[in-house]
């Protein structure tokens, strides 16, 4: 893998950062969480710019990492009784 930095960054390069990181100070999971949070924040910015009314997503009840990240970004997480999925919503 070529670890040289270029002026053009892609999501693939960012997600592969772990393999080029000096001394591997960060785990792949930490990089993935950071990338997921940044992409979600950008999605919210784009939705606001496009004047959408809301964003809605679904995730499994067991996916606590996703629920926590979405709460930090500003989403509300609902878990309907008897359902295997959570509803993640944000009014814009």
Q: What is the pLDDT of residue 35?
A: 84
pTM above 0.75, yes or no: no
* Mean pLDDT computed over 10-27: 46
Mean pLDDT calculated for residue range 2-31: 48
Digit-coded pLDDT (tens) for 53-84? 999 999 999 999 889 999 999 999 999 888 89
Catalogue all structural domains in the chain, each as residue range(s) with its CATH number. 11-91 (3.40.630.30)
Mean pLDDT of 80-89: 90
75 Cβ contact list (under 8 Å, min separation 6)? 55, 57, 88, 89, 90
pLDDT at 34 exceeding the cut of 90: no
Element (H, E) at 20: helix 17-20
């Amino acid at each position: 893998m070529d670890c040289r930095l270029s002026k053009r960054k892609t999501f693939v390069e960012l997600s592969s950062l772990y393999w080029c990181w000096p001394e591997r100070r960060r785990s792949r999971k930490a990089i993935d969480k950071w990338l997921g949070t940044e992409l979600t924040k950008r999605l919210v910015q784009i939705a606001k710019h496009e004047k959408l009314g809301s964003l809605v997503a679904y995730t499994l009840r067991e996916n606590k990492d996703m629920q926590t990240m979405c709460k930090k970004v500003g989403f509300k997480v609902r878990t309907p009784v008897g359902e295997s999925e959570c509803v993640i919503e944000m009014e814009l």
